[in-house]
Structure 1
Amino acid sequence: MKRKKLLISSTLAGALAFSVFLPATYAHDALDVLGGAKGEVEVMTMEELKAMQLKHSINGSKNVKFLKQAAAVQINPLNGKQNNMADVYAHKGFAYTGTHTANGANGGVRVFDLKDPSNPKEVAVFANEIPYSWQEKVIVKTVNTPSFKGDLAAVSVQQTSRNNANRPDSVGGVLLYDVTDPYNPKKLGFYGLDRKITGTHELYLTTQGNRALVLTSSPYADYYTHGAVQDFQILDVSDPTSPKKIFGWNPRDLEQIPEDFNGYHWYAQDGKTRPVFNHSVITDNNAQYAYVSMWDLGTVIFDIRDPENPVYLGNTTFRANQKGSAHSAALAKGGNILIETREVSNPVGSGYESAYGYTRIFDIKDKTNPVLLSEFTTDLTFDIPPTSAGRSTFAKTVHDPKVQGNTLYLSYYSGGVLALDITDPSNPVEIGRYTPENADVWGVFVDRNYILASDMGQGLKVLLKNNSGGKSEALQR
């Protein structure tokens, strides 16, 4: 592949302790031994949730003025184990939730019928057939290709123990399922990765005409394979029974990356080091551009109109005193505004501002030159405990963004779900907040009249944006 020139700002500077150890806690950066661990909140059964009568608080104005919790349900135990929830997606009146690593993982994807938003019913489990793996992310789209017509689900698969000789059947990658009948998902295909790679962490399913594509984020693929496998790949899944890789990209493809780049450490011009790996990827609605969250390399933007030959356009950068951690992205204003969330769990560090991760908003009308418009922080951002308090935590960092119209929704772990008015992207204003007691909210998704939140310890929360629908609250305040 021809190496493309990228001008990296000299402000990309920072210190990171190097480690080749991959802890089993799956921190935001698994190679960062200073990072905190996810899933620290206790996973509760539905019976425990009902018995505790967990409270929640909701504040709202404007279009979320009447926001209310319609339901709170835990995923069902599977094979005698209570797994915990990861991300959430909705399609045609059904919620699809991934699962994390609690109690041995292999919780699969859970499907909830939302016909009655106040009483979601779990109706199916799928994608849990690969041993010693977890299924964090699921995207569902209606697809019409020469080989498949219906609703297609793409599921990320990660090993709980990378390259474990005692687990030869464990492998990461992408599972593809037919969910045209959500009650009866049918496996179509699997794209497997080298077992040296943990797997695909996040992904995005999209279409270009009668072609279906999956864009994947496989953190440290470059590092673990010395460049042989790419962190960012594009798969053609037009025939879901036979997914094919059509493109791969690593940062080492850029001119400014030295030949001795190890796939993870970016050496800034002042001699300091930052972590670089692919955490997440999305596209615009027409699949013309891809937005790849490359941690301290920022959000990298590609023109993917020719998906076999994407073209690098530009990337976001950070201030010298700002930790990077570009975790996820969303688009607004017809694709001219980029929302970038930064998952910083360790809020302190020599030469850096003391802050948990927060949200940045960019003007990307010129995609070769993203322009920072605003940064949104909360009361959690600077609420930093004394060093003596112990290990860092994800509880106060932002996680994922979703946009509907001029409203930005953020999942915020202990902060729950925040709603921002971004009518003026240079001046985002908080207009709503939903915070369950002991919240550990991983994902948020907006569909129809409801907002879905996935809580790692407490399961699926269904919020209604006004007084229509929703017969009762499953768990009262």
Structure 2
Amino acid sequence: MHSSRRRTSIHRGAGVAAAGAIALGLTLSAAPVLAHGTHDSSSTGTQEKAGPKDPCTDAREDRLDAADDNFAKACLPGQDLAQTESFESDLAAGEIASSPNTRLVANLPKQGAFATTSALNSDLAFQGDYAYAGNYEGFMVYDISTPEAPKVVSQVVCPGSQNDISVSGNLLVLSVDSSRSNNTCDNVAQSATIKESWEGIRVFDISDPANPTYVAAVETDCGSHTHTLAPSKDGANLYAYVSSYSPNAAFPDCQPPHDFISVVKIPVAAPETAAVVSEPVLFADGGNPGGNGSSTTSGCHDITAYPSKDIAAGACMGDGILLDIADRENPVVTEQVRDTTNFAFWHSATFNNHGTKVLFTDELGGGGAATCNPEVGPNRGADGIYDIEDGQLAFKSYYKISRTQQSTENCVAHNGSLIPVNGKDIMVQAWYQGGISVFDFTNSKKPREIAWFDRGPLPAGQIGGSWSAYYYNGYIYSNDIQKGFDVIKVDDKVIDRASKNPMDVFNPQSQPSYNG
């Protein structure tokens, strides 16, 4: 059932985390490098367990697996998705398929410290002729000036899942949501039960993309699963809205109730002074209590800002929200919605260009389960499309890929972005091992797919597929968890119209406005 409740006020949380002193342990290479010797990414954390928890909302409980997203928890409230029956797809291992209008034009495999199956590729950001690609072991910089022949510019080894990434001017920001021994790049996993353990955001200077420099670290409560940039209107400061979740009484720096986000202020002229400036409470009533078919809300997974319109949308475990961010340091919740019938875990959000719709994703199964099959059906593990009507979120439809994936293929709605076609609402989206889908949701009630790309299954038990798929200046770029950096071209007369709206910088969680 869809229900919504309007919010008109917000409470400020107490406490400010300061940036820690940095003793750099940075490994940088423009060519393949050896694995980071002091870090085993197959065990990205060793926090102790503290009593029973809701398995769908506690991605922090056990980081002995491949860490977050929520890979260790193939869950739906009340149902273990690992028990679904066996399904077969048309593709065999190693095969590639796509719609006739779509083709893979380039692939750069994972390399160096990121070559292992446990070094997971994550999010992407773009600026000028460069793509910046997160990995649980650090990040890559690619030269995409010739999109069909991308080149490696540099590889920075700096472990800490997920290394969610964004860029602005000369600055790059990374999110760390696994408890580390210190805030440098020379760190190992360390239990969150230890007060001195660190997790939060890291800031790099990328004025020379071939030689990024680590300039700041800011510790945030419960770490930083994702972050969202919202520049100040005068451009003097970057504000990073830090999303994290699932507190634990045994974790000194992640205490319940965790119903707020951290707002980090990064002065552009002095990024080394970055610090938490506020911790606004978004769920004064505690949010979704769980036990109702969807997740308990104990923080947010991801926030998408639309800075030019002073609005944002939050995907917060058991709740979807709208925010007023006119006061960057004090965002205000204006609308709240939940779906206890089909949404297990509110994962991410995307506005249309006019800011009159929001598409939310449901990460059913935590990203580690096979949910793209007839047994799970078309409405779970899908996108939920909402129109904004008089400030309220009005549900219109679900969208999910129709191609059946094998029972060994982790598949669910994941990261995507608008394709800037004037007068249309068109999106490209990653579906892990379900591949990539391009679809039109101009008619909110009748979304339709117009292009797709898919690979055959990985070996059983291996997490993989496209983590993020984004459009940037004529091409779709995908950071495949195992296969590496993909460049995809869609030959379609409607998609080609997006060339009228070129971008100089693109952070998908900080939406730009184009002339639509």
TM range (shorter): 0.7 to 0.9
Which residue of 2 is the match for residue 178 of structure 1?
205
Equivalents in 2 of 1:218, 1:165: separation in Å? 14
How big is each residue's C-alpha offset from its partner over 1:293-313, in whole Å with a ceiling of 9 and x where there is no partner? 11112x211111112332210
Q: CA RMSD in A?
A: 3.8
1:378 paired residue among 401, 421, 430: 401
1:452 paired residue among 468, 473, 477: 477
- With over 3 angstroms needed to count, the CA separation of the structure-2 counterparts of 1:465 and 1:242, relative to structure 1, is same
Q: Which amino acid aligns with 2:302?
A: S
Higher mean alpha-carbon deviation, 202-211 vs 412-421, is at: 202-211
- With over 3 angstroms needed to count, the CA separation of the structure-2 counterparts of 1:275 and 1:436, relative to structure 1, is same
**Is 1:190 paired with 2:236?**
no
Which residue of 2 is the match for residue 119 of structure 1?
149
Which residue of 2 is the match for residue 9 of structure 1?
none
How far 1:4 sits from its partner (Å)? 4.3
1:357 paired residue among 381, 400, 404: 381
Q: Which amino acid aligns with 1:58?
A: S
8 A Cα contact 2:81 2:370, kept in partner? no
**Is 1:58 paired with 2:110?**
no
Q: Which amino acid aligns with 2:155?
A: V
Which residue of 1 is the match for residue 41 of structure 2?
none
How far 1:78 sits from its partner (Å)? 2.2
- With over 3 angstroms needed to count, the CA separation of the structure-2 counterparts of 1:440 and 1:231, relative to structure 1, is farther
**Is 1:244 paired with 2:283?**
no
Matches within 5 A, 1:300-379: 300-318=321-339, 320-345=340-365, 356-367=380-391, 369-379=392-402
- With over 3 angstroms needed to count, the CA separation of the structure-2 counterparts of 1:192 and 1:420, relative to structure 1, is same
- With over 3 angstroms needed to count, the CA separation of the structure-2 counterparts of 1:287 and 1:110, relative to structure 1, is farther
How far 1:316 sits from its partner (Å)? 2.4
Equivalents in 2 of 1:120, 1:53: separation in Å? 25
Q: Which amino acid aligns with 1:121?
A: K
- With over 3 angstroms needed to count, the CA separation of the structure-2 counterparts of 1:30 and 1:461, relative to structure 1, is closer
Equivalents in 1 of 2:95, 2:290: separation in Å? 47
8 A Cα contact 1:347 1:356, kept in partner? no
Which residue of 2 is the match for residue 427 of structure 1?
446
- Structure 1 runs not aligned, ≥5 long: 7-14, 39-51, 101-106, 143-150, 258-263, 386-392, 470-477
How big is each residue's C-alpha offset from its partner over 1:173-196, in whole Å with a ceiling of 9 and x where there is no partner? 1111121221121222111235xx
8 A Cα contact 1:88 1:98, kept in partner? yes
Equivalents in 1 of 2:74, 2:97: separation in Å? 34
Which residue of 2 is the match for residue 148 of structure 1?
none
Equivalents in 2 of 1:433, 1:89: separation in Å? 22
How far 1:361 sits from its partner (Å)? 0.8
Q: Which amino acid aligns with 1:290?
A: A
SS of equivalent to 1:69: strand
**Is 1:110 paired with 2:140?**
yes
SS of equivalent to 1:397: coil
Equivalents in 1 of 2:344, 2:115: separation in Å? 40
8 A Cα contact 1:188 1:240, kept in partner? yes
How far 1:362 sits from its partner (Å)? 0.8
1:233 paired residue among 248, 252, 262: 262
How far 1:322 sits from its partner (Å)? 2.0
Equivalents in 1 of 2:413, 2:385: separation in Å? 14
8 A Cα contact 2:259 2:281, kept in partner? yes
SS of equivalent to 1:335: coil
8 A Cα contact 2:246 2:258, kept in partner? no
**Is 1:164 paired with 2:191?**
yes
Equivalents in 2 of 1:408, 1:273: separation in Å? 26
- With over 3 angstroms needed to count, the CA separation of the structure-2 counterparts of 1:30 and 1:69, relative to structure 1, is closer
Equivalents in 2 of 1:92, 1:21: separation in Å? 39
Q: Which amino acid aligns with 1:137?
A: D
Q: Which amino acid aligns with 2:272?
A: T
Matches within 5 A, 1:271-310: 274-276=295-297, 277-286=299-308, 288-297=310-319, 299-310=320-331
Equivalents in 1 of 2:115, 2:343: separation in Å? 41
1:407 paired residue among 426, 449, 456: 426
How far 1:120 sits from its partner (Å)? 1.6
8 A Cα contact 1:21 1:31, kept in partner? no
8 A Cα contact 2:370 2:409, kept in partner? no
How big is each residue's C-alpha offset from its partner over 1:175-219, in whole Å with a ceiling of 9 and x where there is no partner? 11121221121222111235xx3x211111231222311111112
Which residue of 1 is the match for residue 105 of structure 2?
70
Which residue of 2 is the match for residue 416 of structure 1?
435
Equivalents in 2 of 1:17, 1:444: separation in Å? 28
How big is each residue's C-alpha offset from its partner over 1:17-67, in whole Å with a ceiling of 9 and x where there is no partner? 6979424333554795747999xxxxxxxxxxxxx994421215xxxx3x3
How far 1:245 sits from its partner (Å)? 1.6
8 A Cα contact 1:75 1:460, kept in partner? yes
Q: Percent identity?
A: 18
**Is 1:207 paired with 2:231?**
yes
2:289 paired residue among 266, 271, 282: 266
SS of equivalent to 1:372: strand
- With over 3 angstroms needed to count, the CA separation of the structure-2 counterparts of 1:378 and 1:165, relative to structure 1, is closer
- With over 3 angstroms needed to count, the CA separation of the structure-2 counterparts of 1:3 and 1:23, relative to structure 1, is farther
Which residue of 1 is the match for residue 43 of structure 2?
none
- With over 3 angstroms needed to count, the CA separation of the structure-2 counterparts of 1:166 and 1:4, relative to structure 1, is closer
How far 1:117 sits from its partner (Å)? 1.8
Q: When the two structures are aligned, how many residues end up with a matched partner?
A: 398
